[in-house]
Structure 1
Amino acid sequence: MADWGPVLIGVVLFLFLSPGLLFEIPGNNRPLEFGSMKTNGKAIAFHTILFFAIYSILTLALHVHIYTG
């Protein structure tokens, strides 16, 4: 049986936390921008740390598993 939990969590978080797609913290002109489709280095670093923190909590601490097969 394959464990698809970490894969699914990673894909969903990547979609939601891509800087500039839905939101961007910090934005180019404001602290929070929505749907700007632009990014900067600070936003990339922040979203990377946020992705790692949420992914680690969901996969390691909460043991989210989705089995198929």
Structure 2
Amino acid sequence: MNNWAAPVIAAALFVFLSPGLLFQLPGKHRPVDFLNMKTSVVSILLHAVIYGLLLILFLVVLNVHVDV
């Protein structure tokens, strides 16, 4: 059986953690902006760190498997 957890979780996190799509940390005018579709370098770096930490959490710590 193939383990599809890594590509599915990575793709979902990439979409949901795109800066400005759902939320942006830090925002342009507030600490958190929602649905503004604007980014900054700090926001991109912070979202990349959150993406990496969540990916490590799901794949390494929790050892999630999706067998197809």
What is the RMSD computed on CA atoms of the aligned residues? 0.6
* 1:28 CA drift (Å): 1.2
TM-score norm. by structure 1 comes to 0.94
Aligned AA (1:18): S
Q: Residue 26 of structure 2 corresponds to which residue in structure 1?
A: 26
Q: Residue 36 of structure 1 corresponds to which residue in structure 2?
A: 36
1:66 & 1:46 partners in 2: Cα distance?
28
TM-score norm. by structure 2 comes to 0.96
Aligned AA (1:4): W
* 1:57 CA drift (Å): 0.7
Percent identity between the aligned chains? 38
Aligned AA (1:46): L
SS of equivalent residue, structure 2 residue 42: helix
Q: Residue 46 of structure 1 corresponds to which residue in structure 2?
A: 46
Aligned AA (1:34): F
SS of equivalent residue, structure 1 residue 3: coil
Unaligned runs of 5+ in 1: none
Q: Select the structure that is richer in strand.
A: 1
2:35 & 2:3 partners in 1: Cα distance?
33
SS of equivalent residue, structure 2 residue 27: coil
1:36 & 1:16 partners in 2: Cα distance?
14
Unaligned runs of 5+ in 2: none
